[in-house]
Every structure is written in C-alpha cells, then in structure tokens.
Amino acid sequence: MKDNLEYNHKKIENKWKEIWYKDNLYSTDSNSLKPKFYILDMFPYPSGVGLHVGHLKGYTATDIVARYMRMKDFEVLHPMGWDSFGLPTENFAIKTNKNPFDVTKENTRAFKQELINAGIGIDWNREFDTSDESYYKWTQWIFLKLYNKGLAYKKKSPVNWCPSCLTVISNEQVIQGLCERCGSKVELKNIEQWFFKITKYIDNLMNDIKSLDWPKSTKVSQDNWIGKSEGVRVKFRIKDSKEYIDIFTTKIETIYGTTFIAIAPESKYIELIKDKEKIKEIEEYIKNVSPQSEITRKKDVKTGLKTGLIAINPINGQEIPVYISDYILMEYGTGAVMGVPAHDNRDKAFAKLHGIKSIEVVNYKKGIINHGKYNGISIDIAKNKIISDLSSMAEKTIEYKLRDWLVSRERYWGAPIPIIYCKECGEVPVPETDLPILIPRDIKDYRPKGTPPLASSKSFMEVECPICHEPATREPKTLDTFVDSSWYYLRFIDPKNNRSIGNNTLLRKWLPIDFYMGGDEHATGHLLYSRFITKVLNEEGIVSINEPFLKLRHQGKLFGPDGRKMSKRWGNVVSAEFAEKTYGADSLRMYEMFMGPLSQSNSWDTRSMIGVRRFIDRVWKLQNILDKNTLNKNIDTKNINNLIKSISLNIESEKYNVCVSEFMKYLNEVEKLDTISKDSFRKFILVLAPFAPFIAEELWNIIGEKYSVHKQSWPTIIKVKEDKNDMYINLPIQINGKYRGNIKVLKDQEENEIIKILLKDTRFQDKIKEKDIRKVIFKKNIIINIIFDDI
RNA sequence: GCCUGGAUGGUGGAAUGGUAGACACGCUAGCCUUAGGAGCUAGUACUUGAAAAAGUGUGAAGGUUCGAGUCCUUUUCCAGGCACCA
C-alpha cells in the first residue's frame, strides 16, 4: 500500500475551505423542526492587528460544540458579526490616516478570512457589522424605545472624561482611574450627557443572575459592581440652624463613637457655611481638589478642612465638628459620613491627621455594644433599638454603587442619537419611520476635538421639527459601542429583516442563547448592559426572554511565548496565519484545545505544537492499516466504542483538552493492532470531525463516503459480544489501606472468593494470614482493602 | 483591605473519595539514515538499589475516613478582579 503518505495540510485545507464557503455548509435553517441550539461567541472589534492565536481559543471551542451538536441532530445557530462601531475602529482609522468606513471593510474582510482559514463553521449569510445602516437603524430604534419608556434621559452631572480620546466614557470603561482604551488618566467634567436608567433594574439584575449557569466569579463581579449595601440614613442637626446634614452608614451601632462629620467637596452642605473667611478658605481647598476625578484622588493622605459648622449627634446631643474632605465621595450615599475613628480605618486615618479623638463603642469580637445605654447588648438588637430611638431622625435605606449607564459620546464613529431639538417643541424623538439617522459623510475631519464631530456637518444638523415642521437641529452625539453590542445577539436570528428588529416567531424560537463564550473582561460591562437591554425589550414584548445568556463560559487568555500578554509592544504576537502555515489549521485547533482546561490561561509554545501535528500525521497514515476485507474484530469495536463514549462525555463536560488525549490514546491502541476496520475508521473520522474538520473531510472523501462529513450524525455504539477478556478484571489490592498490586479475577466476583484467591497468591500469602484479618472493605469490581489488627 | 480562582514530575497537564502523574512536550539510549530540527523502539516523579524491590511523594500543618490530590479546619504563596462605596 501507499507507504510514504505525506499529509499536505496546505493543499487539503485550501481545497475544502473554498468548497465549504461556496456551499455555505454551516447555514442554519431558521424554520427547521429539529431542536434548536444557539451558540455564540462574543463578536470581535475588527481592529487592525488581525487575528492571533488567542482569538481562536474561544472560537475553536464553540466551533467544536456547534459541530458536535449539529451531528447530534440539533439545528445549530453559530453566527459571527463584527463590533465595528466605536473607539477601537475609529482610533485605528485615525492612526492609519484612513476613514473608518474603509477600515471597517478591510479589517472585517481580514478577520473573516482568518476564521475561514481556521475552519470555524459559521453561517456567513447572517454576518453583519454594527456600523451597517441596516443594523444601527435598530440600535437607534432601541434608543427610542428606551426614550419613550423614560429610560433614556439627559442630565448634567460630573462624568468621566478621557483627555486623549476626547470623549466622555462610562464608569464601566474606567479601569482603576484610567481609560480602558488608551490608558490616559480620566478627568471629571460636569457636562450634559445621555444616560440609560439601568439602576431601575437593579433588583431584577441581582435576582435573575442567581439561576444562570455562569462562572461564579462573573456573578460575583456583577454583584460587587452593583454593590448593594443596606444601611441607615441619619439626620445630624446643625447647631444654631434649622438645617440638617444627612449621612449614610451601614454601622449604625457605632453612632455613639461619632467624633466628627465629613462631607464631600462637591456637597451642597457647603452652602450652610456662613462665615466669609471660612468660605474663602474652603473655596481654595475645593479648587485644589476638584479637577481630579474621585477615582484619582490620593488614597493615602486624607486631606480636609474644618468648616466651622457644628453638628449635633441625634443619639446623645453631643456637639461634633463638621469637616470637608476629599475622601468622601459625592456620588455614593449622601456625600456625607459620620466619622467613627474607632471602627473605620478611613475615619481613623483622617482623625489621626486632624487630631480628632476616638471613642470605642462596640466590641466586634464579642458581638456586643460596650458603651452607654446599650452596654452589653448584642449588635443586632442594638441596631434596631438605635434606629427606633432615633425615630424621625433615621431611616433604613439601601445604597448601590451602580450608576446609570452613560451612553453618549463626543465621537464620530457611532450611531447618531435620534433626537431633535426644536425651539418650540423642545426635545423631540425622531419618528421611527425616519430611521436610520445616517452618519454624515461630508465631514472632512472626523477626529475627536472634544465637541461632537457631527455638529460640524450642516447637512446633518439642520432638520425640520417632526412636530411643528419649523427648523430644528439634531443631537450631534453618538451612542457608545456598548449600546451596539448590547443587543446584537438577537439580530443574528433574522439579520436581513427590514421591517422589524426580528420576526417575532423566530425570536421566540431561537432565544435565549444556549451557550455564550467570551472573555471575562466583559463581566461588568457588556454582560451587564446586555442583560439590562434584554429586560427592557422583554417588557416591551419584543423578546419573550428575561435573560439573554443561559450558559456562559470564559476562555482563558493565551499569552505570548514569553508569558506576557500578546501585544505589538512586546513583539510576542503569534498570528493565526503563522501557526496555520507551519502545522496546519487542524493542528492549531487541536493544540489550542490540548493546552489545558479552556477557562485557564496559558502561554503559547510553538515547540509543543509538534505533538498534535504528529498526531495528525499518524491519523493520515491510518490509511495504511485500513482493513477493507475483514469484519470488525471485537477489540477494534470496543476501542471505537470507548472513544465515542469518552469524546461525547468530555465535550459535554467541556473538557476539550481531555478529548485530544483520548484521541491520542485511541490512536496508540489502534497502531498496536496494526489494523483498523472500515467501520471503526469511519466512526473515528466522524468523532474527529469537530476537532479537525479538514483532515476529517479529506479522509471521509478518500474512503468513498458522501460529502460532507460535517453533515453526518454522531456515530452510535454497536453492542459487542462479551468475550473471554471481558470476563476478567484487574482488581487493586490494598493492605491496611495501602496499594500492594492487583490480581486478575472474574468480573462481579464476591468478597470471600477473592480472599481465597489472595491467600493462595504467592505475592500476598506471606502478608495475609487469615486469622489476623480484622476487617475487609470490599467494593465489587473496584477495590478490596484488608485491614489487620496491628495497625 | 475585600472577592474569585489556583498550587500535582524538567514543562503543559490527567485523575465519579479507591492503582497519582493518563495524554503530550522535553530529555536519555538505541535503530534507521549521506544527513536530521524526519521517522521508529525503549526508558523517564524522587530517594536507596546492579536488579528485584522498598521507602517517600500532589504548597505547609492538622482533621474526617478502611482509604484523601479530591472532603473539613488553619496557613503560606501565586494569578486575576474590585476598592477611600461609609
């Protein structure tokens, strides 16, 4: 036979990827009667760097699952699109001096080609860019839905400003005080912006997440981000005044220990100060503090000033000084705290710096109050008593960290906000029939300047008021890219629909997503926004689901060979193209799976990849030992049965790395036999197909089966007759709990029989004396453990 | 500080409470070859030993159990996330 078979991955991959694409092999029949399975990857920003091996980790895993489910006779929807609107694309366009329209086209083409090269099975009929007019029409439509429900509103408030991107950004886009995109220090600016009222859905967001099949860490992240805390608001009266300062505390039991009040520099309580000298001093202080964002204020030094105001502790009438300090955040609680140096580290640090005394009033170790009226009473009881003692001066409340979602941007490359300003009629939403509001093309310089670039287009700005038909102007701000991606998953179901966001029946049928895969960096951004938008669309009757993603998994990061994050800066980016050229797409896919559990991060090691390439070569050479004549041997059938079972099990339990080992183990066994039956070979190709689609299709073709292997059903297990070998098992022997070898015994052999055998076995008869046996632990077919007295 | 994961050979990693290190990479030796960064065969946790074999061994210390990498308690270290959130 053909002895020197060489597997030519280039030739074979080029052949099949063309045929598959031409046939759109992975197209989904929306109206199929089979059970549906919707599996989705977080779609990428098609930035300029191209696809590297890290991107493919998640895509390969979903591709394997999609192919497996397809073979299990589900109608599988596995689509792909491009998150092309927004800062990543626009910044890339600016850097390369091109326009974002062209950049989007070029980059999406490149990304798509690389996915095709990697054999990722996508229904390309459903592809879209979020910057397509036919897509952002519906982004704007969703904005109007929110607007009409009162969930989209404009407000002047301190917002995060990135001085390099020249736009506002949301809280979720600020990472440790720096801009997520460019790493610049974020400033605080007081400007009018558009918000989505996500805070209205806090309770739903917190409750509904509990039942989702999501990684625990992600659920916890969202909970922390929402940051619910239950506490009490307390009024502290100002001496010689009718005014009060409202504070928020979660530790009302410490109120006796209050030795000062501190308010935020932005606090309205500053107006209570009447002393002119003091006002000057404080204005000076505020000037020094306020240009900084709350996030970037120095944490170690807690600066502050006495305001001259004296507050009265409502619990005991004690007079305490009021300070202004930059460690108090205006945006949380009431922007004022009761300072309890004895029981709060920050208060303690502030008190130390400003010479304020500290009174210990609670013993947290013992869980009791050790001061005043409630001395000796447990904290829980004291809390309630204090609250009722304070009566009208206190009120139980719940505070959250989550703020409303800031969605407007002073940038060009995004969906224009569909609002019109009319002198007569005020703020007017664009009528649905006028959508989409297109981005103007007549802007020469679209680069960010701090004011919305769209404002410089006359043709865009000048418009007729939809109500009174008088001249009016458009809102020149655009929507954040996270608005685009907060609903994209539902567009794949009916992507070409021009009349509605999606056919109602189809949306009902295909939602929710059964399996969602993507990076954990989206835990508090995209994933939270998508859940929110889904809940709004649900209330509007547009979708019938309450949660978009039933099951979520994160693929771990793939670092460069040097263990650092893959980046141009380090020169450690391994392109998908490089890996495919060297060893082929099938090897690349299998290697990425073989590296370890999917959720775990790993470093790329090209050298290790040779292992899976050797495997692929040996699979190719199986043709040499293909036995066309004889019937199945029992052992051959048993081997393939085991493989089918274990691959199914391991795909379903998401252990793709173990799948690869199982294939290798199987191959080792088969090579030992020097022959493989056609039936087993056929099944082997079938189970291998989700992992290595190219070589599987080629071998399928070679053995004369009908195109395509990827349209076949998952192989079934044939029952084999039990033979002699099946009658025996190797039973591990433990003596005093320690493994001492094993013996060959009949399957289902009982305990006393086994002991008889052991007593005769030359290896064990010296060690085992029947009369000394104290106890025997026996688990049929699993283990026998013999315990002696003298342990 | 808080939260979430981890810790198993030289490396990546396997292991429903039941033979730890599967499967690979690398390495060592041999075969084949003009050659090998190709292929094949054998070996490869550590210690002792020529070998047979014995002992030790899953970050550390305890505990539960006939039996623990796996369960419980304490602890150390590593990675990631959040953070003046009152």
**What is the DSSP track for A231-259?**
EEEEEEEETTSS-EEEEEES-GGGGGG--
Band (A597; pLDDT cuts 50, 70, 90): very high
| CA→C1' distance for A184 and B16 (Å) | 51
What would the mean pLDDT of A734-747 be, rounded to a whole number? 82
Number of neighbouring beta carbons within 10 Å of residue A320: 19
H-type helices in A492-563, by residue range? 504-510, 526-539
Q: What percent of chain A has a predicted confidence (pLDDT) above 70? A: 96
DSSP state at residue A270: G
Structure tokens at A539: 């209330």
* Cβ-based neighbours of A60, under 8 Å, separated by 6 or more: A118, A120, A589, A592, A593
Whether the pLDDT of residue A3 is over 50: the answer is no
Nucleotides of B under 7 A from a protein CB: 3-5, 11-16, 18-20, 22-26, 38-41, 54, 66-68, 79-86
Which residue has tokens 């490149």?
A: A110
pLDDT digits over A96-154, tens only? Answer: 999 999 999 999 999 999 999 999 999 999 999 999 999 999 999 999 999 999 999 99
Query: Residue A257, CB, less than 7 Å from strand B?
Result: no
Question: Is the separation of the CB atoms in A725 and A743 below 8 Å?
Answer: no
Query: Residue A401, CB, less than 7 Å from strand B?
Result: yes
Query: Residue A124, CB, less than 7 Å from strand B?
Result: no
Query: Residue A173, CB, less than 7 Å from strand B?
Result: no
Q: What is the mean pLDDT of chain A?
A: 90
Q: Which residues of A in 423-482 have their CB below 7 Å from strand B's atoms?
A: none
Closest to A95 measured CA to CA, from A34, A146, A47, A131 = A47
Structure tokens at A49: 């760097």
| Predicted local confidence at residue A609, as pLDDT | 92
- How far are the Cα atoms of A5, A330, A374, A379, A671 from residue A253, in angstroms, in the given order? 80, 24, 9, 7, 74
Strand, helix or coil for residue A378: strand
In angstroms, rounded to a whole number, what is the distance separating the alpha carbons of residues A419 and A436? Answer: 12
Whether the pLDDT of residue A295 is over 80: the answer is no
Any idea what the Cα angle at residue A660 is, between residues A658 and A663, rounded to 5°?
A: 110
| CA→C1' distance for A221 and B82 (Å) | 8
Instruction: Tell me the CB-side half-sphere exposure of residue A372, using CA atoms within 13 A.
Output: 14
Query: Residue A702, CB, less than 7 Å from strand B?
Result: no
Helices A53-71 and A585-594 pack at an angle, to 10 degrees, of: 90
| CA→C1' distance for A203 and B3 (Å) | 21
Amino acid, single-letter form, for residue A713: S
Query: Residue A667, CB, less than 7 Å from strand B?
Result: yes
Nucleotide nearest to A217 (CA to C1'): B4
pLDDT digits over A76-88, tens only? Answer: 999 999 999 998 8
Number of neighbouring beta carbons within 10 Å of residue A91: 21
Q: Which residue is nearest to nucleotide B18 (CA to C1')?
A: A783
In angstroms, rounded to a whole number, what is the distance separating the alpha carbons of residues A316 and A312? Answer: 8
Query: Residue A220, CB, less than 7 Å from strand B?
Result: yes
In angstroms, rounded to a whole number, what is the distance separating the alpha carbons of residues A619 and A380? Answer: 68
Question: Is the separation of the CB atoms in A466 and A428 below 8 Å?
Answer: yes
Band (A734; pLDDT cuts 50, 70, 90): confident
Query: Residue A739, CB, less than 7 Å from strand B?
Result: yes
In angstroms, rounded to a whole number, what is the distance separating the alpha carbons of residues A428 and A423? Answer: 10
Which residue has tokens 């500290």?
A: A358
pLDDT digits over A451-482, tens only? Answer: 899 999 999 999 999 999 999 999 999 999 99
| Predicted local confidence at residue A708, as pLDDT | 93
Amino acid, single-letter form, for residue A176: Q
DSSP state at residue A419: E
In angstroms, rounded to a whole number, what is the distance separating the alpha carbons of residues A678 and A627? Answer: 6
User: Peptide bond preceding A436: is omega within 30 degrees of 0, i.e. cis?
Assistant: yes
Backbone angles phi, psi at A322, to 5 degrees: -105, 130
Q: Which residues of A in 632-661 have their CB below 7 Å from strand B's atoms?
A: 655, 657-658, 660-661
| Predicted local confidence at residue A1, as pLDDT | 35
Query: Residue A398, CB, less than 7 Å from strand B?
Result: no
* Cβ-based neighbours of A214, under 8 Å, separated by 6 or more: A549, A551, A552
Backbone angles phi, psi at A177, to 5 degrees: 80, 0
Query: Residue A246, CB, less than 7 Å from strand B?
Result: no
Query: Residue A734, CB, less than 7 Å from strand B?
Result: yes
Band (A627; pLDDT cuts 50, 70, 90): confident
| CA→C1' distance for A732 and B70 (Å) | 19
Band (A766; pLDDT cuts 50, 70, 90): low
Band (A698; pLDDT cuts 50, 70, 90): very high
Nucleotide nearest to A295 (CA to C1'): B84
| CA→C1' distance for A605 and B44 (Å) | 22
| Predicted local confidence at residue A290, as pLDDT | 60
Greatest pairwise CA separation for chain A in angstroms = 108
What would the mean pLDDT of A297-305 be, rounded to a whole number? 73
Query: Residue A614, CB, less than 7 Å from strand B?
Result: yes
pLDDT digits over A119-130, tens only? Answer: 999 999 999 999
Question: Is the separation of the CB atoms in A215 and A552 below 8 Å?
Answer: yes
Handedness of CA A481, A48, A575, A492 (dihedral sign): positive
| Predicted local confidence at residue A156, as pLDDT | 86
Q: What's the length of chain A?
A: 791
Structure tokens at A377: 């009473």
Query: Residue A293, CB, less than 7 Å from strand B?
Result: no
Whether the pLDDT of residue A781 is over 90: the answer is no
Nucleotide nearest to A787 (CA to C1'): B66
Whether the pLDDT of residue A291 is over 80: the answer is no
User: Peptide bond preceding A512: is omega within 30 degrees of 0, i.e. cis?
Assistant: yes
Nucleotide nearest to A779 (CA to C1'): B18
Whether the pLDDT of residue A45 is over 70: the answer is yes
Question: Is the separation of the CB atoms in A79 and A42 below 8 Å?
Answer: no
Entry pTM:
0.92
Whether the pLDDT of residue A791 is over 50: the answer is no
Instruction: Tell which phi-psi region holds residue A73, choosing left (phi > 0), alpha (psi between -120 and 50) or beta.
Output: left
Band (A696; pLDDT cuts 50, 70, 90): very high
Query: Residue A587, CB, less than 7 Å from strand B?
Result: no
Q: What percent of chain A has a predicted confidence (pLDDT) above 90? A: 58
| Predicted local confidence at residue A630, as pLDDT | 62
* Cβ-based neighbours of A302, under 8 Å, separated by 6 or more: A325, A326, A327, A346, A349, A350, A353
Q: Which residue is nearest to nucleotide B12 (CA to C1')?
A: A595
Band (A2; pLDDT cuts 50, 70, 90): very low
Query: Residue A782, CB, less than 7 Å from strand B?
Result: yes
- How far are the Cα atoms of A29, A695, A737 from residue A3, in angstroms, in the given order? 43, 18, 52
Burial of residue A549, with CB atoms counted within 10 A of its CB: 0-12 exposed, 13-18 middle, 19 or more buried: buried
Instruction: Tell which phi-psi region holds residue A674, choosing left (phi > 0), alpha (psi between -120 and 50) or beta.
Output: left
| CA→C1' distance for A231 and B1 (Å) | 20
Query: Residue A344, CB, less than 7 Å from strand B?
Result: yes
Nucleotide nearest to A791 (CA to C1'): B66
Strand, helix or coil for residue A131: coil
Q: Which residue is nearest to nucleotide B65 (CA to C1')?
A: A737
Nucleotide nearest to A671 (CA to C1'): B40
pLDDT digits over A325-370, tens only? Answer: 988 888 888 999 999 998 888 898 899 889 999 998 988 877 888 8
Amino acid, single-letter form, for residue A601: S
Burial A141-177 (b: 16+ CB within 10 A, else e): bbbbbbbeeebbeeeebbbbbbeebbbbbbbbbbeee
- How far are the Cα atoms of A259, A360, A371, A383 from residue A375, in angstroms, in the given order? 19, 12, 5, 13
| Predicted local confidence at residue A136, as pLDDT | 97
Query: Residue A787, CB, less than 7 Å from strand B?
Result: yes
3-state SS track over A557-574: CEECCCCCCCCCCCCCCC
Q: Which residues of A in 522-561 have their CB below 7 Å from strand B's atoms?
A: 523-524
In angstroms, rounded to a whole number, what is the distance separating the alpha carbons of residues A194 and A722? Answer: 72
Strand, helix or coil for residue A185: strand
Q: Name which residue leads in pLDDT, A423 or A571.
A: A423
Query: Residue A597, CB, less than 7 Å from strand B?
Result: yes
Least confident of A479-488, A593-602, A761-770: A761-770
Nucleotide nearest to A250 (CA to C1'): B86
| Predicted local confidence at residue A119, as pLDDT | 96
Strand, helix or coil for residue A8: coil
| CA→C1' distance for A752 and B48 (Å) | 38
Strand, helix or coil for residue A278: helix
| CA→C1' distance for A737 and B72 (Å) | 21
Closest to A206 measured CA to CA, from A533, A528, A554 = A528
| Predicted local confidence at residue A767, as pLDDT | 67
Nucleotide nearest to A302 (CA to C1'): B84
Q: Which residue is nearest to nucleotide B2 (CA to C1')?
A: A224
ipTM (interface predicted TM): 0.94
In angstroms, rounded to a whole number, what is the distance separating the alpha carbons of residues A391 and A407? Answer: 41
Among A40-54, A192-206, A750-764, top mean pLDDT goes to: A192-206
Query: Residue A335, CB, less than 7 Å from strand B?
Result: yes
pLDDT digits over A151-194, tens only? Answer: 999 998 778 888 888 888 888 888 877 888 888 888 878 889 99
Closest to A102 measured CA to CA, from A516, A413, A490, A365 = A413
3-state SS track over A202-234: HHHHHHHHHHCECCHHHHHHHHHHHCCEEEEEE
Structure tokens at A127: 């592809």
Burial of residue A184, with CB atoms counted within 10 A of its CB: 0-12 exposed, 13-18 middle, 19 or more buried: middle
Query: Residue A397, CB, less than 7 Å from strand B?
Result: no
